[in-house]
Amino acid sequence: MLIKVQQNWTGISLESLFRERWKAPKKLVHEWRMNKEVKLNGHAAPWSTSLQQGDLLSIPLMDMADDEAVQATNLEIPILYEDEWLLVANKPAGIDTHPSQPGDRRSLLNGVAYHLQQTGQTCMIKHIHRLDQDTTGAVLFAKNRLIGSILDRMLEERAIKRTYLALVEGSLHKKQGDINAKIGRDRHHATRRRVSPTGQAAITHYRLLHHDPNRNLSLVSCTLETGRTHQIRVHFSHLNHPLAGDTLYGGKKIFPRQALHARKIEFTHPILEEKMVITAPFLDKPEIFDERL
């Protein structure tokens, strides 16, 4: 894969680009370095070489798809953004982010694999985060090992911001707030989580957008400092404002699923160094959220 050296990289060494700017996996960098697979302007260059804007950097990113691991299935998954490095898909309700058991071919990962197959791409595909089965919205995928490791680190360092929309029952007392409550497993239920003093740290920031007095529902925008399983669902249930439709956590069956949508994802592209803001349209029919939001 050819990469044009960005202006911001001018003057730094080839080694600094990989080890300091990208913080690429040491094992991967060592493999490329020993095999002299990284080339600058078509030639193997010393790793101390300073980069200049417009230089062409060649990286051996031929991470092939594993056909046995991810079977391609036509699920008509909307692709919100795509380039040679990564893509963002809009996950519908009713499917897992990745296969939950051997032979499962109806996950988001299978649907994205089909998209790659139909567009003649033979790269690997890896989800960077996940959504619950009945949560909709934006999910970020990497197309090779290098970008996968960089995005994993960015997620860990909270450099990838995800904004969710949720409809919760009742009227919230505060227009905005933070829910700081540890989350652990519910020993009485295999899949449910609960607020627990012995659980993992979990912080949800929320902002009230609108209250519908006719249905007694509140639309809230949420961002997370942590990514615990069912975090938004557990936290609002803990406040006695469960998500509409979320029967697992005490919500009324107003909708066929919990009213939760990963509306927006924001990050700086690791290679292009551009600010990415990707918004996921609502997918429900009949609609749960209003597209005018």
Active site residues: 132
CA–CA distance, 274 with 289 (Å, rounded to integer): 30
The Cβ-side half-sphere exposure at 149, using a 13 Å CA radius, reads 14
Q: Token pair of 226, please?
A: 């942590």
**Residue 15 Rama label (left phi>0; alpha psi -120 to 50; beta):** alpha
Q: How far is CA 263 from CA 30, 60, 229, in A?
A: 39, 34, 18
CA–CA distance, 73 with 151 (Å, rounded to integer): 25
φ, ψ at 143 (rounded to 5°): -105, 0
CA–CA distance, 188 with 177 (Å, rounded to integer): 30
Count other Cβ atoms within 10 Å, centred on residue 11.
10
Q: Which amino acid is at 16?
A: S
DSSP annotation of 160: S
Q: How far is CA 63 from CA 85, 145, 180, in A?
A: 11, 7, 40
CA–CA distance, 258 with 239 (Å, rounded to integer): 16
Compute the CA torsion angle 230, 189, 95, 143 (nearest 10 deg): 60
Count other Cβ atoms within 10 Å, centred on residue 186.
16
